[in-house]
Structure 1
Amino acid sequence: MRKRFLSTLALAGVAAFALTACSSDGGETDSSEMAAGDTAGDTVTVGFAQTGSESGWRSANTESMKAAFSEENGFELVFNAADNDTAAQIAAVRSFINQGVDAIVIAPIVEDGWDDVLQEAADAGIPVILEDRTVSASDDLYAAWVGLDFEAEGVKAGEWAAAEYGDTETKMVVLEGTTGSAPANDRATGFDSAIEGTMIEKIDSQTGDFTRDGGKTVMEGFLQKYGVDGIDLVYAHNDDMALGAIEAIEAAGAVPGEDIKIISIDAVHDGMQALVDGQINYIVECNPLLGDLAAGLVTDVLAGNDVEKTVYVEDQAFDQAAAEAALPDRAY
């Protein structure tokens, strides 16, 4: 696949657009309210199958998509959030196909199981854009994908861990994202490759499903099993799970960021504030403001223009000082 990297400066325009528009829900329709052929004039009807609302990152991503696919921009958005239920998400995509939408955007909950429904969309002549997460199906079944390099995020987090803790015995636990999802798989692979050969030992790993409650519950179990003194480092696949881990560590009488170090991925506002406060030690960014880029791809594909098959958005990384400098102007 071809890859195009967009700089952080280029993303500033995306963030600005999303901020000015995200207060409006114009053009959004629940999938149960729309029948085929309800589009008017030149309005482009787009079905968007979101994973759910499991995290602050996901909420920011949803608002970015709603802003970009607004009535003011010439779209009718048919929105469905599957609450992290893969079967429900696939059913939503089939509903979009039956409704005869012009295009479909999917943030797949997991990578596998998409071949049949993507083929159905192709047979119906409806182009599909993947957003945020990827699928294992043939890339002939979708027009383009836009999102983040999850494995590179894991590598960046692991390289920092290796530099900071790799020369001393370090017992690490991992709060994994949703099992089978692209970010969980790739962030684990990237981090593991970066710490290979160091003295960091992964003693346990369990999914918290990208949720704060899940991160708290899993961390409570780790603390009961190993004790505060038996864990030196937490690697969380997203900020919400890291924030849940902070609650569990504090409830156990320890100081997050000091007694137990924490590395996370996302850089949403609450996570960045915890980094500024010293409760998290390092965060790799995963920018959720993908709506403008997804809308541009839909427009180009429907116009018959050539598009990049894979569009990567470049991420930043933050220590405490960098987070303190960035937080006042943070868009999410």
Structure 2
Amino acid sequence: MRRLMTAAALAALLMPGAALAQDYTFALVPKAMNNPFFDLARDGCNKAQEELPDVTCEYIGPGEHTEMEQIQIVQDLISKGVDGIAVAPSNAPAMAKALKAAADAGIPVMTWDSDLLEEDKALRSTYVGTKNYDIGVNLAELTMERHPDGGTICLQTGGAAAANHNERLLGIRETLSGETLGTPPGDPLSGQGGWTEISGCPLITDDDGNKAVQGMTDILSANPDLTAFVSTGAFTQWFDNAYRQAVEPYKDRMDSGEMSIIVADTLPMQMEQLSDGLSNGQVGQRPFEMGYRAMFIMKDLAEGKDVEDPIFTGLDVCTNANAGDCLAQ
């Protein structure tokens, strides 16, 4: 963290051949700390800390997905004077307002997992993570492979103001429809490309696993002939037992190809569900790499180096057929 130079440190710096060591504290701010996806980013951040002796990873965020709490945490980090902030914004426009204070304080900022809106991207130096539109494209392509003639679909998403999920929704809708639909998240489909979004969808989960699985349960029960249920995040599958209980009644339809459940992310419990035929496709991100690379990027920024923007970490596309070997090593 920023500190006033002590007399001893100044004397050491003035000694011939001496250099003043700089220690850095970089904050990695997730959307929520009760989220297994972000746990992997934390692990990557800690791994980078082990490899960078002058860097401390401060992993801090809301206990649960709470937009205002995340903003308050970022404001506190700015007041505290950390050396850099890597944040996954829950509410992109609101976070942009908070980050203006970081710019005024000279604190470098980057985003990861979720970016700011286009008009606010000058407030951060780079984004590291998934090309979120491509998640939507791949979710849609998996759906179309199983249902080439289209059908009815329910989309499930995270926070209504989360830029990453809105980009994924647009990728799904444009790929299924074969049309350009404008700005994220695009309008619900009403027959384009053979696909119609049912009433009550998209389901907004606010990254709440209980809310997500309950929403899916209600939709499947009320729409027994639904063709596809597609989720832009892992929330529905976090609680393994609850998810399995919700989906088991539809496994025969999934096995026969009448219905599909396609979900973003490839966390361990999700891959087990896929292997057991309780989902039909997973499009995985690489959160460990996001957290790991964020610390190296923040150090470059703190030292005044140029960094690439954006930095994409790639995707893994998994099906029932390739579940055993689809993940990048």
Shift in Å at residue 238 of structure 1? 2.1
Shift in Å at residue 307 of structure 1? 1.0
The aligned amino acid for 2:197 is K
1:143 to 125, 132, 145: 125
How many angstroms apart in 2 are the aligned matches of 1:195 and 1:154? 10
1:320 alignment partner in structure 2: 320
Judged with a 3 Å threshold, the aligned counterparts in structure 2 of structure 1 residues 130 and 69 are, in CA distance, closer, same or farther, namely farther
2:296 alignment partner in structure 1: 296
2:92 to 99, 111, 119: 111
Q: How do 1:29-48 and structure 2 match up within 5 A?
A: 37=3, 41-48=21-28
Q: TM-score, normalised by structure 2?
A: 0.80
1:304 match: secondary structure: coil
Q: Is the 8 A contact 2:131 2:312 kept in 1?
A: yes
* Residues 1:67 and 2:47 are matched in the alignment: yes
Root-mean-square deviation (Å): 2.5
Structure with the higher strand share, 1 or 2: 1
Q: Is the 8 A contact 1:166 1:195 kept in 2?
A: no
How many angstroms apart in 2 are the aligned matches of 1:105 and 1:209? 21
Q: How do 1:1-332 and structure 2 match up within 5 A?
A: 37=3, 41-70=21-50, 73-82=53-62, 83-136=64-117, 138-167=120-149, 170-196=151-177, 197-203=192-198, 204-226=201-223, 229-242=224-237, 245-250=243-248, 253-255=249-251, 257-258=254-255, 260-289=259-288, 290-326=290-326
1:143 match: secondary structure: coil
Q: TM-score, normalised by structure 1?
A: 0.79
Size of the aligned set, in residue pairs, is 290
Shift in Å at residue 151 of structure 1? 0.7
Judged with a 3 Å threshold, the aligned counterparts in structure 2 of structure 1 residues 139 and 165 are, in CA distance, closer, same or farther, namely same
- Measured against aligned partners, the alpha-carbon deviations of 1:283-306 in whole angstroms (never above 9, x if no partner) come to 111111212221121111122111
Q: Is the 8 A contact 1:46 1:104 kept in 2?
A: yes
Q: Give aligned-pair identity as a percent.
A: 21
Judged with a 3 Å threshold, the aligned counterparts in structure 2 of structure 1 residues 200 and 144 are, in CA distance, closer, same or farther, namely same
How many angstroms apart in 2 are the aligned matches of 1:154 and 1:71? 34
Shift in Å at residue 77 of structure 1? 2.8
Unmatched runs of 5 consecutive residues or more in structure 2: 10-20, 178-191
- Measured against aligned partners, the alpha-carbon deviations of 1:268-322 in whole angstroms (never above 9, x if no partner) come to 1111111111111111111112122211211111221111121112212111232
Unmatched runs of 5 consecutive residues or more in structure 1: 1-34
2:17 alignment partner in structure 1: none
How many angstroms apart in 1 are the aligned matches of 2:250 and 2:61? 37
How many angstroms apart in 1 are the aligned matches of 2:25 and 2:4? 9
How many angstroms apart in 2 are the aligned matches of 1:73 and 1:280? 42
Q: Is the 8 A contact 1:162 1:200 kept in 2?
A: no
Larger radius of gyration: 2
Judged with a 3 Å threshold, the aligned counterparts in structure 2 of structure 1 residues 36 and 91 are, in CA distance, closer, same or farther, namely farther
Shift in Å at residue 70 of structure 1? 4.6
